[in-house]
């Protein structure tokens, strides 16, 4: 993705990304990653559980920042708006990386193994957001539904961003996805969209 520092974990990540982009995720071994980084397989496993985890190593920090943002939203803000604002801010940080973030998404799109890992990470994010909403006093069912809707809006916006070229304002893509979700719900409920 971005440039890493000279530490072993950064060198391994840089080597992995280079190899994944050159040959495809499935064609690269851990031994090759370690060799390219000038390190051993044993060193690789000190930092990453497997070669997939290189692509998802920032997921925990992303989740923590989103949850913190949801908890910190001022009282009176609707739960869905708090979730969407938090995910929009987090996604903006990812999209500022630019083309390497798009390349990462393309790698994920080419591998069912990586897609599965992505779904697991998104499910964990959804649970964490739901828990944060409950801390704000939202009922468990409403918290779960809101978290699921927010993550759906986020993933839709991110997929749209990743499929485009050039710069696109991520918050605008999030807003468009949220408007589409609200319109779809209004259609189902037979009501008029608001805002």
* 30 and 109 co-located in one domain: no
E strand residue ranges, the chain? none
Q: The domain containing residue 50 runs over which residues? A: 8-54
User: Residue 83 is encoded by which pair of tokens?
Assistant: 């979730």
Q: Is residue 147 included in any domain, yes or no?
A: yes
* Nearest by Cα to 82 from 159, 32, 137: 137
46 and 77 share a domain? Answer: no
Residue 182 lies in a domain: yes
Residue 27 sits in the same domain as residue 68: no
| CATH number of the domain where residue 136 is located | 1.10.357.10
pTM: 0.82
**pLDDT in 10s for each residue of the chain, 195 residues:** 444 445 888 899 889 999 998 998 889 999 999 999 999 999 999 999 999 999 888 889 999 999 999 999 888 999 999 999 999 998 888 888 888 888 889 889 988 989 999 999 999 999 999 999 999 999 999 999 999 999 999 999 999 999 886 667 889 999 999 999 888 887 767 676 555
- The span from the CA of 12 to the CA of 54, in Å, is 8
């Amino acid at each position: 993705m971005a440039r890493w520092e000279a530490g072993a974990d950064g060198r391994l990540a840089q080597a992995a990304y280079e190899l994944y982009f050159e040959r495809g995720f499935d064609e690269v071994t851990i031994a090759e990653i370690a060799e390219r980084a000038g390190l051993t397989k044993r060193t690789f496993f000190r930092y990453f559980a497997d070669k997939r985890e290189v692509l998802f190593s920032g997921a925990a920090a992303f989740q923590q920042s989103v949850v913190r943002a949801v908890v910190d939203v001022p009282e009176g803000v609707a739960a869905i708006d708090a979730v969407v604002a938090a995910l929009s801010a987090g996604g903006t940080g990812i999209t500022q990386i630019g083309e390497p973030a798009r390349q990462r998404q393309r790698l994920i799109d080419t591998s069912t193994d990586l897609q599965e890992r992505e779904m697991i990470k998104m499910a964990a994010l959804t649970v964490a957001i739901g828990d944060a909403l409950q801390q704000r006093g939202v009922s468990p069912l409403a918290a779960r539904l809101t978290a699921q809707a927010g993550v759906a809006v986020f993933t839709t916006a991110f997929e749209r961003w990743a499929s485009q070229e050039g710069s696109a304002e991520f918050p605008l893509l999030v807003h468009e996805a949220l408007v589409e979700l609200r319109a779809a719900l209004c259609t189902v409920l037979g009501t008029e969209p608001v805002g």
